[in-house]
Amino acid sequence: MRGDGRTPGQLRPVTVERGWSKHAEGSVLVSFGDTRVLCTASVTEGVPRWRKGSGEGWVTAEYSMLPRATNTRGDRESVRGRIGGRTHEISRLIGRSLRAVIDYKALGENTVVLDCDVLQADGGTRTAAITGAYVALADAVAWAQRNKLVRPKAQPLTGTVSAVSVGIVGGVPMLDLAYEEDVRAETDMNVVCTGDGRFVEVQGTAEGQPFDRAELDALLDLAVTGCTELALAQRTALEQELPA
Amino acid sequence: MRGDGRTPGQLRPVTVERGWSKHAEGSVLVSFGDTRVLCTASVTEGVPRWRKGSGEGWVTAEYSMLPRATNTRGDRESVRGRIGGRTHEISRLIGRSLRAVIDYKALGENTVVLDCDVLQADGGTRTAAITGAYVALADAVAWAQRNKLVRPKAQPLTGTVSAVSVGIVGGVPMLDLAYEEDVRAETDMNVVCTGDGRFVEVQGTAEGQPFDRAELDALLDLAVTGCTELALAQRTALEQELPA
Amino acid sequence: MRGDGRTPGQLRPVTVERGWSKHAEGSVLVSFGDTRVLCTASVTEGVPRWRKGSGEGWVTAEYSMLPRATNTRGDRESVRGRIGGRTHEISRLIGRSLRAVIDYKALGENTVVLDCDVLQADGGTRTAAITGAYVALADAVAWAQRNKLVRPKAQPLTGTVSAVSVGIVGGVPMLDLAYEEDVRAETDMNVVCTGDGRFVEVQGTAEGQPFDRAELDALLDLAVTGCTELALAQRTALEQELPA
Amino acid sequence: MRGDGRTPGQLRPVTVERGWSKHAEGSVLVSFGDTRVLCTASVTEGVPRWRKGSGEGWVTAEYSMLPRATNTRGDRESVRGRIGGRTHEISRLIGRSLRAVIDYKALGENTVVLDCDVLQADGGTRTAAITGAYVALADAVAWAQRNKLVRPKAQPLTGTVSAVSVGIVGGVPMLDLAYEEDVRAETDMNVVCTGDGRFVEVQGTAEGQPFDRAELDALLDLAVTGCTELALAQRTALEQELPA
Amino acid sequence: MRGDGRTPGQLRPVTVERGWSKHAEGSVLVSFGDTRVLCTASVTEGVPRWRKGSGEGWVTAEYSMLPRATNTRGDRESVRGRIGGRTHEISRLIGRSLRAVIDYKALGENTVVLDCDVLQADGGTRTAAITGAYVALADAVAWAQRNKLVRPKAQPLTGTVSAVSVGIVGGVPMLDLAYEEDVRAETDMNVVCTGDGRFVEVQGTAEGQPFDRAELDALLDLAVTGCTELALAQRTALEQELPA
Amino acid sequence: MRGDGRTPGQLRPVTVERGWSKHAEGSVLVSFGDTRVLCTASVTEGVPRWRKGSGEGWVTAEYSMLPRATNTRGDRESVRGRIGGRTHEISRLIGRSLRAVIDYKALGENTVVLDCDVLQADGGTRTAAITGAYVALADAVAWAQRNKLVRPKAQPLTGTVSAVSVGIVGGVPMLDLAYEEDVRAETDMNVVCTGDGRFVEVQGTAEGQPFDRAELDALLDLAVTGCTELALAQRTALEQELPA
């Protein structure tokens, strides 16, 4: 039994609130337990310079934490004048994960920027961000279709993508670590899967002892289960009417 | 009649949601119509170096906008590597406004940082930020009292403070401008008042024609009315039980 | 009686020395007592990218202090690698103030940059800067007219602008605060007026106690008087022959 | 058969040249084929502020590429004034990988900084860097032991660590990708192992299609084989006399 | 005959105006023809961290140009967020030149910062800066002596220093190049001499053709003559009463 | 006799290893004793914006030190976020020195960037960099000729250039100072000469006492001898077959 009463293979309560912002083409407030991330998708015509004339679109992401999203206040990166390594790393991970389900040709020369701002952090912010950003992206792509930015019948989305953290805590493989578990984990892994259970990204790190193949296998099994459940939550949210 | 059906002297609907974050010592999601600002107050023991040993506390503020808080996405200041002039200006305004109701001696050598992050912008973000930050500050001060960071019976708060924008739009003085009105305003003013109707800050700017004394007087009258109403909304919010 | 023998409603000695630099299209060394600011106006053909093709010009300003303009040496912002909030705020104020008397259409697609560098500071640097920059701007506009950068008979200047600080010191409203007064002021206000006595910008701040409406009114009265006197000094300077 | 004549499971020629620099406490020029990385280990007494008084040491790493290490010249990060996301990510990976084999208590309050500068790049720069940095670290630790910076008999190194890239190219799982293969890879994985075949870090990314569990397993098998071979090369290098 | 009527070996008119600023411990407005540089010397007790406890003082310099000191406006380095190579180079040259006549022991643990801000540029800004900064430094050292910051009878200044530019223009070696000459010079040299005619710094650069030994000798001869004359101007200025 | 057994007028052993990198158009690992600098020359078609349409090429240089090139580790300039004054100064010196032997017209609108990265430092890094960069530049120009980037028969190189340090150590003028000598030098000079013994750059600095004309002359004599010898080493290296 875990601190919050979950079994090792259980996700925290997940909510996916679409249409959170009136300005963005797609916007989702996603929560994995107490972790809350605001994901907005901004569509603009045109692509970065290095891609112009290719006929292909681009999708990128920026991740950030509000200074008091965490237990102690962190300095703003804008104030420090530079982006930290962790922020860079997670922004790149989110971007790669979403590009895995994009058909650039079908998107045409349009750019979608996913902004994932952590309003409250309690572990798993990057996986919540990917899971929420996918839904924001889906809404943004639908917006682009309705507004004729993409060719008729073009399907820029080739699949769905969600992410979850897994880890070994006190010798037990566990799904969707809360902050307090993450801190104690011997091994920590973030897994990004498509809706059909294949892998987009696997990032496992030994925090204490190195891990062996059997542990790795157990963690991958748990992650695939978790991602499947998250894919269902995404589909359910997307099937609802978008609030006006 | 205004675009959203208000009379010239009417505020937009105001909500003040306390206890929004589980980590911060005070946290408020404030909205003035579609403008939504998350204000968190972080208390730390100790003060900046230049104030050490004075026996006095410090209060400061940082304002920022999420990239897609506005109609078109703006670049992150962390990515640009520098804070813009507007951000600097508003952060300083918020800090000064809240320090106007702080007794540094009573606060003791503690620091409160107010983070005001605009989640959605529709005009009046700085005035909503000040109004919400005051409530977060009040909760943070109460927390410091409960946790014995300040001397018994010390009252660090000497009053209340709220802020509202006013402006002349199409020749008519109006209260609490929405973005669409702000853009068309000939004169634009932000006024910060204490709960007893005195001024903490008055910042008026001619956007088109210079304004005369009669116009200035009409705007100040409107602003005082608006601030009084906001002070009431603050008090009402603070009288409620803080959610656990 | 004030420290330097002035009455509360008296300006410090004002000098406006035109043609200070041989390179700039307009250049003025302005002094308000011991405050000395070098204001240069640089005219270039063309406008910033976001304004191209509009047929309209642009006017902007940059304010800075030499490191030892003040009593203790300040670090250079170039060395720190970032511009401080105060500098940003004042640069923006100067720019807005001068744009209030510019007819962009008449200016045509030309840009005027006002550089206001404080050589020696003794209070009121921003108001001296605005007052001097107006004269440099007038010379620069005349230069543009002589050199046919603007259409024949076009009058880019629609009025004159000057600025002065006022404040309540020891309970007494006073005009044009020197540094030593500014430090003790309970309320501090900077007012920018056109030559016909209307307001371009009003920025009042309670440094200690909040101020009431009567105090605000007294300060505004003083400021209008001061600006009228400064407008006269500007006109007198501009009526003289520009040194070769 | 691969472009350079290797079989899918074959490493490129590996060289590990110790004692490359006369200044550093450990220094290694490592090459994986045409990829050449200079790894230096710098030992200093003392630890970063946040670790002072803990009795524990610290190990960190910085990765960088010379501007013309690659086929086209890249801008220097010092000239751009900021470190890119990729650099941050790899520096962090190297640091984590080496810390996995460090006993902080045994190291005592000493810091080892590993600088990994890519002199020539041809794929696998981060895995070559980790493999070479381990050897430089081992030399630096031995230096610290000889110079009594660590307690007598203390063994700061708890194991060995090496790294290799694997990927699926044209449907075939391959070991130690050269640049030209890396560009064409559908899936790309970097694996860091200890000398006893356990995992320190697993980072797999789908570049094109998502990958399935069978592909993941095949890549992990290859990687473990490669790391074992690299561990042998490390041991062989470390058994030789260090050049004077 | 040169453009401004000088002979090849003639300096431009030199003025050295002491006591220009009321705040600085030493301040000089120096002009070499139309080149005008404001040099201030700021004395503070204490030395940079790396020199603490040595019993020795420190002297350093910062050079900068106002944006419109030159014929076309240059961007501010504070706005660009970084200091350019030329500024760095000249700041370092000024610092080294003045340190050549400082006895650190006699100065004691005090720091003098020389700020050299070019108000108007017409060639030779760095040499005017060194020449003026020496006089500001002499005044600052006298101030430190009067105010007992240095031991009684300590003589921190061990000599005098001045600087001049020389160059070959149209095949003719010339002294103290104005901007228009500097641009056409085939060889350009800056020479810093002590009052007794020895060299502190010699920096010669072939702008077009390399120069031979005979040309180098002719330039050095001219420079020594110029520096001797400047040393006289410095002494004359320093013998006058400092304005109150 | 010097610390390493050299006579005062003797260079350290010099090696010039061409073709060090497989990517760059020219690449040289140059050593002056224990000082080792990797110099790469990168050719690109086109020139910086300010030179477009001129028909002329451009040559520029960037100098940097690896963090542990020196006895104690230095912070990376990329990490500090700014380039130091010394780096700027040396980069500019290298660029000017090489441009002295370039015919821009013959080079056509092509750019050559010389990157000089110090792998190990023991004094004279800038002079080794210039000497090595010349050879890399010669190879790059030959590459441009072979690849028809320049007009047939165009000779972009107008001469050869090399550099050496000289200094007065313990009263004795010496050639090619090692670090340990450089630290003790009373006067330090860097001299850049063309192959025919003329001067491109002379930079002499009094580190302790000012130096007189006789000392200057002795140093210049030594430097010319040293550069002649280095020119021979360059020619010898360039006459060999470039490794494939």
Q: Which residues of E touch F (CB under 8 A)?
A: 82-86, 88-89, 91-92, 96, 100, 159, 189, 193-194, 196, 198-206, 209-213, 216, 220
F33: nearest Cα among F237, F176, F204:
F176
Residue E228 with chain F: CB contacts under 8 Å: none
* Spatial separation of the C-alpha atoms in residues A182 and A122, rounded to whole Å: 9
Q: Judge contact between B169 and B177, C-beta under 8 A.
A: yes
Task: Tell me which chains share at least 3 CB pairs under 8 Å with chain E.
Answer: C, F
User: How far apart are the CA of D244 and the nearest CA of chain A, in angstroms?
Assistant: 35
Residues 6+ apart with CB under 8 A from F30: F14, F15, F16, F17, F36, F37, F39, F128, F129, F131, F132, F135
Model confidence pLDDT, tens digit, residues C118-165: 999 999 999 999 999 999 999 999 999 999 999 999 999 999 999 999
Above 80 in pLDDT, residue C244?
A: no
Chain F residue with minimum CA distance to E204: F202
Say how far apart CA C34 and CA E211 lie, in whole Å.
50
User: Average pLDDT, stretch D196-219?
Assistant: 94
Q: Indicate the residue type of A77.
A: E
Cβ of F85 within 8 Å of Cβ of E89? The answer is yes
Q: Is B125 annotated as a binding residue?
A: yes
Give how far E18 is from chain F: nearest CA, Å: 27
Residue in B83, B87, B115 closest to A66 by CB:
B115
Tens of pLDDT, residue by residue over A226-243, are: 999 999 999 999 999 887
Question: CA-CA distance, E166 to E11, in Å (whole number)?
Answer: 10
Q: What percent of chain E has pLDDT over 70?
A: 100
Closest CB to A120 among B21, B44, B81: B21
CB atoms B206 and C100 under 8 Å: yes
- So what's the pLDDT on residue A226? 97
Whether the CB-CB separation of F157 and F46 falls below 8 Å is answered with no
Contact yes or no for B92 and C85 at CB 8 A: yes
- Closest residue in D to F67 (Cα) is D115
pLDDT for position A242: 85
**Predicted confidence band of residue C1 (pLDDT cuts 50, 70, 90):** confident
Q: Say whether F22 and D34 touch across the interface (CB within 8 A).
A: yes
| Of residues F22, F76, F83, nearest to D79 (C-beta) | F83
- Cβ contact, residue pair D44, F73, below 8 Å: yes
- Between the alpha carbon of residue D126 and those of residues B142, D93, D180, D224, the distances in Å are 51, 8, 16, 17
D24 vs F contacts (CB less than 8 Å)? 68
Helix/strand/coil percent split, chain E, to 5: 35, 30, 35
C48: three-class secondary structure by DSSP: coil
With beta carbons under 8 A apart, name residues in chain F contacting E91. Answer: 85
How many other β-carbons are positioned within 10 Å of the β-carbon of residue C109? Answer: 18
* Chain-chain contact of B210 with C203 (C-beta, under 8 angstroms): no
Summarised one tens digit per residue, pLDDT across range C169-214 is: 999 999 999 999 999 999 999 999 998 889 999 999 998 889 999 9
Residues near E101 by beta carbon (within 8 Å), at least 6 away in sequence: E134, E157, E158, E159, E160, E161, E194
Which residues on C lie below 8 Å from E95 (Cβ)?
A: none
Mutation pick from B60, B89, B130, B157 vs chain C, by most beta carbons of C within 10 Å, is: B89
Cβ contact (<8 Å) for D68 and F24? yes
Residue D117 Rama label (left phi>0; alpha psi -120 to 50; beta): beta
For residue E227, report the phi and psi dihedrals to the nearest 5 degrees.
-65, -35
Among the partner-chain residues B88, B194, B216, the one whose CB lies closest to the CB of C210 is: B194
Are residues C56 and C63 in contact, defined by beta-carbon separation less than 8 angstroms? no
CA distance E115 to E37: 10
Per-residue confidence at F61, pLDDT binned at 50, 70, 90? very high
Distances (CA, A) of A34 to A37, A130, A177, F168: 10, 16, 11, 70
Predicted confidence (pLDDT) per residue in A149-190, tens digit: 999 999 999 999 999 999 999 999 999 999 999 999 999 999
CB-CB neighbors (< 8 A) of B206 in chain C: 100, 198-201
Residue D62's SS3 state is strand
Across the interface, whether the CB atoms of B205 and C91 are under 8 A apart is answered no
Among E144, E62, E17, E81, CA closest to C68: E62
Name the pairing type of β-strands E58-65 and E110-120. Answer: parallel
pLDDT per position as a tens digit, E103-160: 999 999 999 999 999 999 999 999 999 999 999 999 999 999 999 999 999 999 999 9
For testing contact with chain F, the best of E62, E126, E205 (most F CBs within 10 A): E205
**Per-residue pLDDT at A209:** 87
Count CB neighbours of F22 within 10 A: 14
Whole-number Å distance between alpha carbons of A169 and D181: 38
Nearest chain A alpha carbon to D104: A208
pLDDT band, very low/low/confident/very high, at C230 (cuts 50, 70, 90): very high
- Residue D144 one-letter amino acid: A
| Nearest neighbour of D201 by CB, restricted to A84, A88, A206 | A206
Residue range F29-51: mean pLDDT, rounded: 97
Mean pLDDT, range F26-55, rounded to an integer = 97
Contacts of F204 in chain E (CB under 8 A): 199, 201-203
Question: F1 or E73, which is more confident?
Answer: E73
F210/E199 CB distance under 8 A: yes
Determine whether the interchain pair A68/B27 forms a contact, defined as Cβ–Cβ distance below 8 Å: yes
B126 marked ligand binding residue? yes
What's the N-to-C CA distance of chain F in angstroms?
Answer: 42
Token pair 């199409």 is at which residue? B170
Q: How far apart are CA E114 and CA E30, in angstroms?
A: 14
Alpha carbon of F145: minimum distance to chain D alpha carbons (Å): 19
**What CA–CA distance (Å, rounded) separates C63 from C60?**
10
Residue of chain E with shortest Cα separation from C117: E66
Minimal CA separation from D19 to chain F, in Å: 12
Q: Is B92 annotated as a binding residue?
A: no
Give CA–CA dist A200/A208, Å, rounded: 26
Interface residue of D73, D75, D77 to substitute, partner F, most F CBs within 10 Å: D73
Q: Which residues of chain B have pLDDT under 50?
A: none
Give bridge partners of residue B163 from the DSSP assignment: B192
Q: Do F42 and D73 touch (CB under 8 A)?
A: yes
Each as own residue / partner, the long-range contacts of residues E197-200 (CB below 8 Å, 24 or more positions apart, any chain) are E197/E224, E197/E227, E197/E228, E198/F206, E198/F209, E198/F210, E198/F211, E198/F212, E199/F204, E199/F206, E199/F210, E199/F211, E199/F212, E199/F213, E199/F216, E200/E96, E200/E97, E200/E100, E200/E161, E200/F205, E200/F206, E200/F210
Give dist(CA B97, CA C75) in Å, integer. Answer: 27
At A98, is the secondary structure helix, strand, or coil? helix
CB-based contacts of C89, cutoff 8 Å, min separation 6: B85, B88, B89, B92
Please give the DSSP secondary-structure letter assigned to residue E81: T
Q: Average pLDDT for residues F10-26, to the nearest whole number?
A: 97
Cβ <8 Å between D216 and A205: no
Nearest residue of chain D to residue A84 (CA atoms): D88
CB–CB contact C22 E119 (8 Å): no
* Close Cβ partners of F235 (under 8 Å, ≥ 6 residues apart): F160, F195
Mean pLDDT rounded to a whole number for chain F: 96
Beta-carbon contacts of A172 under 8 Å, excluding residues fewer than 6 positions away, are A8
ipTM of the complex: 0.95
Q: Find how far residue E164's CA is from the centre of its chain.
A: 8
CA-CA distance, A87 to A76, in Å (whole number)?
A: 12
Contact residues of B toward C, CB < 8 A: 82-86, 88-89, 91-92, 96, 100, 159, 189, 193-194, 196-206, 209-213, 216, 220
pLDDT averaged over chain A?
Answer: 96
CB C89 to CB B89 under 8 A? yes
| Digit-coded pLDDT (tens) for E196-242 | 889 999 999 998 889 999 999 999 999 999 999 999 999 999 999 88
Q: Which of A112, A108, A114 is nearest to A52 (CA)?
A: A108
For tokens 């010592």, the residue is B25
E203–F203 CB contact, under 8 Å: yes
